[in-house]
Structure 1
Amino acid sequence: MTRQNNCDVLIIGSGAAGLTLALHLAKNADVVILSKGPLNEGSTYYAQGGIAAVFDENDSISAHVQDTLIAGAGLCDEETVNYTAENAKACLEWLIEQGVTFDKEKDSDGETRYHLTREGGHSHRRILHAADATGQAIQTTLADRVKQHSRIRIFERYNAIDLICEGNENDGSTKQCIGAYIWNRNSEKVESIYAQKTILATGGASKVYQYTSNPDVASGDGIAMAWRAGCRVANMEFNQFHPTCLFHPDAGTFLLTEALRGEGAKLRRPDGSRFMPSFDERAELAPRDIVARAIDYEMKRLGADCMYLDISHKPSQFIKEHFPTIYEKTRSLGIDITKQPIPVVPAAHYTCGGVMVNHQGQTDIAQLYAIGEMSYTGLHGANRLASNSLLECLVFARAAAIEISNSLKVNNRYKNLPEWDESRVTDSDEEVVIQHNWHELRLFMWDYVGIVRTTKRLERALHRVELLQREIDEYYRNFKVSNNLLELRNLVQVAELIIRCAMERKESRGLHYTLDYPDTLTESKATILQNSSNG
């Protein structure tokens, strides 16, 4: 018997988007949050920079909108950009009410105000931050609030396997989501969970690449599940590579916030010379796609393992106060950033495309929503503007919460879900197969579908991914599920979507740069894929 859990609202994912939504909904609903690892383990926790919103009287919503549109290279949905910028301040004020403490300073009149920093692509200082560990402050604050709420249950160490859908009770031809199959990593048993409303908030898919700034959990689970259920995806070819990740054998996936460059850090070649002014008049403050390509180009041209980010010309106390996390981390590795430049390389950082949704987070399937990095709202276009990511989580979580609260049924009866059938599967004795496929996938995605692409590389990648899919599908049918198998199954699906979107775009725009089509077309639209096997 498959153990069945029941709730009003199931939120799959425990980052800024999922926790914000849970807190908004728990007044009116019984909520379950599914967290693949510990509650705090996700991309939100590791976000350093901050959140963009207009708090300065010299700034404006229209300027924030314009900066976002420019960074998005002509592919942003302008209505979505306006909606997000207009709601930014209210969402930040809600976050402050929850207890998140952002850095403050005294102005020339001695008045205390928020310390606003500036990042690449922004025309004004508008980034609220908590030193250089903003994500940690947000994640831990929201997690504490969630844990204290009587109507929120937290399922830690649970993987979502697949969504459960049926015909709509009012219209049998319309598909609606009624919950999900989930794998309890504690008991190693498959369970199910019924929900009136299911929300995917699982984050991005940067783990599909060999080098990434993201934590291990960023394996594209929500995008893959939604695709298998029949949702459309869009703009998966636009993978943002953060220009500056720490290059050190013991560093793991450590990001060096864009705020370093916002506060004057310079990018240098191994000989100490600067190179960004040769690539863009905005130099180090150019959007991320330009900076990442410039670093990639210089590394390949010189045969260098890395470039260098130098903030040592700033006062030592300033560096330690503004970037304490980075200072301590690099110091532990033998690098004193007050005196030395930091070795850096680009790494996969953010998924700009995702599951198509409207302004309330609704997908193509009734009662199924998607919010945060895994969704495609139209905000980011061909390249995300720095510090708009956490903002998107907050704005669309609040919007989804309003729609869900207004459409929840009172005293809804729980339905019996179909049993999970594992009668014909066995325990795997070939875990090495998963590890080999995992390594192969991430390596060829980095080599063939990375910062610079060609048609031939994409064709090779598609051929390899189709072979892997067949192997993994066969493995999935014959063996019991495991965390690595579930993540690999999802990653290989997301890899296919990225490659197919990239092959459809016959131009270079934003984060998608191909040597075969180096020019940018006069007019361009979002790349939309429909799963033909699901109608």
Structure 2
Amino acid sequence: METNFLIIGSGAAGLTLAVKLAAKFPKKKITVVTKAHVSESNTKYAQGGVAAVFDLKKDSFQKHIDDTLRAGDGLCDEAVVEMVITEGPERLRELMEWGAKFDTDANGQLTLGREGGHSKFRVIHHKDTTGNEIERTLLERSNKLQNITMLPHHFAIDLITEHHFSEGKNENLSCYGAYVLDQISGNIFTIKADCTTLASGGMGQVYGHTTNPTVATGDGIAMAYRATARIQNMEFIQFHPTALYDGKNQSSFLISEAVRGFGAFLRNKNGERFMFNYDARGELASRDIVSRAIDSEMKNSGDDCVYLDCTHLNIDDFKKHFPNIYETCLQRNKNIAKDWIPVVPASHYLCGGVVVDVDGRTSLQNLFACGECSYTGLHGANRLASNSLLEALVYADRIFKYLCKHQPWQTTKDIPEWNDAGTVLLKDVEILQQKTVQLQSLMRRFAGVVRNNKDLKKASIQLEMLYFEVEALYQKHKLNTSLSELRNMVNVAHLIIQQSLIRKENRGGYFNEDYNKESVENIVNDKI
């Protein structure tokens, strides 16, 4: 199969780029590969809103920039922060012109909310399902454009570079498309592309307990890593303190931090409100502090979760503000009017990823990246709430504008077909689930909310053994989705662990007990 523009992923970043390219170049082919239904992405599950400055009387670009830099703890790229924040409102107006409906007041003005880390009211919402509204808008628009081909239930296995058809050492690699698995037929085929964009989302499933959907297995980052693209800041993972825990390994529903802002209490199984033992702000402490407090409570007690208590709140008001959360809890046999909600910290957002410049270009020619799989420099060491969808929209537009000026050249190279000669079908599919659970447990235990170097080194040794086991399965058997995802998650886990070991200080979302102790000792010694 041949296409002009190959986009891997169908969230806000991927679909925005697809829609813009299709409208600008009606005679060119745009192909969107997505491994589940076209609507299944991290975007769809984003409860929070999009942060952007719309009220210049009460807010300013500089205040939003300052809040972003403060959250990023000194590791943001200031030029990127300024670019995203100043271009953001126009991207949202564009989305609204396409049909996105955000909450407004009686006068028809946008209702602006405020979230953790923001100094002003600047977050626009569609109730508590903002991401779903954006996804709906983009899908409706893409369906009207004849030159977009959607390939749902297709899995991108590997990027095609000179590694696949050239001998010897290549200094300047290019991307020529991807090998793609048709998940229904089981066939693997080649998509040759003039330009490829990774918009594949996050990697929350590496930890099992995650607010991300099941498709978030870090595929784009792993493919880029195997293709030798630059990957950076993988140690900076934002953990959301309160994901609904249902007793299973995966916990994919987020209980928004706005619920704590609304007045909910965190309790341990004995009913004690423990947050004041960790921070004077109690439940209103920043999400990294709340996550570490819950992690500490669980480790000290051996319990699998803590509880969010909403029983003292006005339930009618709660339903009005959080209808999706209320209904989902009810579907899972938790009536928040009388039941405490079991919650655990869960992998929520990756601040690192495939390194890109201001035009979304990676270190490989003709390979771009945007959205959560990319590292732009916007978030630094910790993402400011509701900046992620903003980044996706702005960078999709930046890639589009770059491609308008610099249309990629069409390669004449012959791309070899996928070769799986000598492989056999994997009959023992349970082994993949076992190894996935093993990986997730290892990452939660040794490379989770709170880390230390001893545990990280243990994780590195155990992961190396798991890598060789998975690689042996990969070499011997025909590929399927589960095996490909496991292979990708092992690659991503390796990057997280190794880049955590390189980090020698606590910054933003990264917390290492060893450096915390050293900091305390240094302060004491300085005083002496």
The normalised TM-score by structure 2 is: 0.91
Take 2:175 and 2:32, find their aligned partners in 1: how far apart are those partners? 17
Say how many residue pairs are matched: 512
Report the CA distance between 1:258 and its aligned residue: 2.3
Take 1:138 and 1:454, find their aligned partners in 2: how far apart are those partners? 39
Q: Do the aligned partners of residues 334 and 422 (structure 1) sit closer, same or farther apart at CA in structure 2, a change above 3 Å counting?
A: closer
Q: Do the aligned partners of residues 216 and 174 (structure 1) sit closer, same or farther apart at CA in structure 2, a change above 3 Å counting?
A: same
Q: Which residue of 2 aligns with 1:62?
A: 62
Q: Which residue of 2 aligns with 1:370?
A: 369
Question: 1:40 aligned to 2:39?
Answer: yes
Take 2:119 and 2:277, find their aligned partners in 1: how far apart are those partners? 20
Q: Which residue of 2 aligns with 1:243?
A: 241
1:445-460 alignment, distance < 5 Å: 445-460=443-458
Question: 1:195 aligned to 2:193?
Answer: yes
Report the CA distance between 1:296 and its aligned residue: 1.6
Take 1:293 and 1:95, find their aligned partners in 2: how far apart are those partners? 37
Most deviating of 276-285 and 218-227: 276-285
Report the CA distance between 1:337 and its aligned residue: 2.8
Read off the aligned partner of 2:415 and give its amino acid letter. L
Q: Which residue of 2 aligns with 1:158?
A: 154
Take 2:455 and 2:392, find their aligned partners in 1: how far apart are those partners? 34
1:81-100 alignment, distance < 5 Å: 81-100=81-100
Read off the aligned partner of 2:18 and give its amino acid letter. A
Q: In 2, are the aligned partners of 1:120 and 1:262 still within 8 Å (CA)? A: no
Structure 1: gaps spanning 5 or more residues? 522-535
Report the CA distance between 1:117 and its aligned residue: 1.8
Q: In 2, are the aligned partners of 1:509 and 1:520 still within 8 Å (CA)? A: no
Take 1:463 and 1:362, find their aligned partners in 2: how far apart are those partners? 34
Q: Which residue of 1 aligns with 2:127?
A: 131
Take 2:119 and 2:261, find their aligned partners in 1: how far apart are those partners? 11
Report the CA distance between 1:53 and its aligned residue: 0.9
Take 2:517 and 2:13, find their aligned partners in 1: how far apart are those partners? 36
Most deviating of 359-368 and 400-409: 400-409
One of 170, 184, 187 as aligned partner of 1:186: 184
Q: C-alpha deviations, 1:180-233, integer Å up to 9, x for none?
A: 111111211010011111000111111111311111111111101111111111
Question: 1:19 aligned to 2:15?
Answer: yes
Q: Do the aligned partners of residues 286 and 74 (structure 1) sit closer, same or farther apart at CA in structure 2, a change above 3 Å counting?
A: farther
Take 1:185 and 1:334, find their aligned partners in 2: how far apart are those partners? 34
Question: 1:141 aligned to 2:137?
Answer: yes
Q: In 2, are the aligned partners of 1:117 and 1:263 still within 8 Å (CA)? A: no
Q: In 2, are the aligned partners of 1:103 and 1:130 still within 8 Å (CA)? A: yes
Q: Secondary structure at the match of 1:112?
A: coil
Report the CA distance between 1:393 and its aligned residue: 0.7
One of 211, 219, 222 as aligned partner of 1:221: 219
Report the CA distance between 1:178 and its aligned residue: 1.1
Q: Secondary structure at the match of 1:427?
A: coil
Q: In 2, are the aligned partners of 1:452 and 1:514 still within 8 Å (CA)? A: yes
Read off the aligned partner of 1:505 and give its amino acid letter. R
Report the CA distance between 1:317 and its aligned residue: 2.9
Q: Which residue of 2 aligns with 1:344?
A: 343
Q: Do the aligned partners of residues 435 and 312 (structure 1) sit closer, same or farther apart at CA in structure 2, a change above 3 Å counting?
A: closer
1:257-406 alignment, distance < 5 Å: 257-270=256-269, 272-280=271-279, 282-338=281-337, 340-406=339-405
Q: Secondary structure at the match of 1:149?
A: coil
Take 1:334 and 1:227, find their aligned partners in 2: how far apart are those partners? 42
Q: In 2, are the aligned partners of 1:287 and 1:385 still within 8 Å (CA)? A: no
The normalised TM-score by structure 1 is: 0.90
Q: In 2, are the aligned partners of 1:6 and 1:414 still within 8 Å (CA)? A: no
Q: Which residue of 2 aligns with 1:433?
A: 431
Report the CA distance between 1:470 and its aligned residue: 1.4
Q: Which residue of 2 aligns with 1:525?
A: none
Q: Secondary structure at the match of 1:9?
A: strand
Structure 2: gaps spanning 5 or more residues? 520-528
Percent pairwise identity: 46
Q: C-alpha deviations, 1:151-186, integer Å up to 9, x for none?
A: 1000111111111123999xx852211111111112
Report the CA distance between 1:490 and its aligned residue: 0.6
Q: Which residue of 1 aligns with 2:71?
A: 71
Report the CA distance between 1:343 and its aligned residue: 2.7
Q: In 2, are the aligned partners of 1:243 and 1:291 still within 8 Å (CA)? A: yes
Most deviating of 251-260 and 153-162: 251-260
Take 1:145 and 1:459, find their aligned partners in 2: how far apart are those partners? 48
Most deviating of 184-193 and 315-324: 315-324
Q: In 2, are the aligned partners of 1:159 and 1:483 still within 8 Å (CA)? A: yes
Q: Which residue of 1 aligns with 2:522?
A: none
Q: Secondary structure at the match of 2:86?
A: helix
Take 2:333 and 2:415, find their aligned partners in 1: how far apart are those partners? 55
Report the CA distance between 1:307 and its aligned residue: 2.9
Take 1:69 and 1:15, find their aligned partners in 2: how far apart are those partners? 26
Q: Secondary structure at the match of 1:346?
A: strand
Q: Secondary structure at the match of 1:211?
A: coil
